[in-house]
């Protein structure tokens, strides 16, 4: 009988896992991650004013909602909806 407190034993395989929804895993060079970050910062830099304004509006809106007694109870529920841009 296997010890219930031990870590599970996974089959060792050199093959990458395959998920039916995503397909087979593929290896990419680490530089792809750096290029992804550089491109993302380029998007931010192109509209920096809008991003800062949206962030400030979100902080002010959450502060106002949290200061109202009944709304402060549902603020954690509403927060994800306000974060989606």
Q: Is 19 within a domain?
A: no
Q: Is 82 within a domain?
A: yes
Tokens of 42: 């380029």
Q: Is 69 within a domain?
A: yes
**Helix (H) or strand (E) segment spanning residue 11:** none
Provide the number of structural domains found in the chain.
1
pTM assigned to the model: 0.52
Tell me the pLDDT band of 61, cut-offs 50, 70 and 90: confident
User: Containing domain of residue 68, as a range?
Assistant: 47-85
Q: Is 22 within a domain?
A: no
Strand partners, 23: 19
* Tens digits of residue pLDDT in 27-57: 888 899 999 999 999 999 999 999 899 889 9
Q: Is 23 within a domain?
A: no
Whose tokens are 């809106």? That residue is 61
Whose tokens are 């395989």? That residue is 13
As to burial, measured by CB atoms within 10 angstroms (0-12 exposed, 13-18 middle, 19+ buried), residue 74 is: exposed
């Amino acid at each position: 009988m296997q010890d219930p407190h031990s870590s599970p034993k996974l089959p060792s395989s050199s093959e990458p896992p395959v998920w039916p929804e995503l397909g087979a895993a593929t290896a990419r060079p680490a530089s792809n991650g750096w290029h992804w970050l550089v491109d993302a910062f380029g998007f931010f830099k192109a509209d920096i004013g809008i991003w800062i304004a949206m962030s400030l509006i979100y902080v002010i809106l959450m502060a106002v909602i949290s200061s109202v007694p009944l709304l402060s109870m549902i603020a954690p529920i509403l927060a994800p909806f306000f974060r989606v841009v």
